[in-house]
Amino acid sequence: MNASFPSTPAIPGRDPRLPLKLIVAAPRGFCAGVDRAIEIVERALLKFGAPVYVRHEIVHNQYVVDSLKAKGAIFVEELDEVPDDAPVVFSAHGVPKTVPAEAERRNMLYVDATCPLVSKVHRQAERQVEKGQHILFIGHAGHPEVVGTMGQVPPGQITLVETVEDVADLDFTPEDNLSYLSQTTLSVDDTHDIIAALQERFPQIVAPKAEDICYATSNRQAAVKRIAASCDLVLVIGAPNSSNSLRLVEVSERMGTDARLIQRADEIDPSWLEGVGTVGLTAGASAPEKLVREVVDRLSDWRAVEEDIVTAAEENMIFKLPRQLTE
- Displacement of CA 199 from its chain's centroid (Å): 27
Cβ–Cβ under 8 Å, residues 184 and 118: yes
- Displacement of CA 17 from its chain's centroid (Å): 35
What is the C-alpha to C-alpha distance for residues 277 and 21, in angstroms, rounded to an integer?
Answer: 6
Strand ordering across the sheet containing 110-112: 73-76, 52-55, 88-90, 110-112
What is the C-alpha to C-alpha distance for residues 36 and 113, in angstroms, rounded to an integer?
Answer: 7
Closest CA to 182 of 125, 143, 142, 139: 139
Cβ–Cβ under 8 Å, residues 169 and 213: no
145 given a catalytic annotation: yes
What is the C-alpha to C-alpha distance for residues 150 and 145, in angstroms, rounded to an integer?
Answer: 8
Please identify which of the residues 78, 130, 145, 294 carries the catalytic annotation. Answer: 145
What is the C-alpha to C-alpha distance for residues 51 and 57, in angstroms, rounded to an integer?
Answer: 15
CA dihedral 94, 98, 102, 107 (to 10 degrees): 60
List the catalytic residues.
Answer: 145
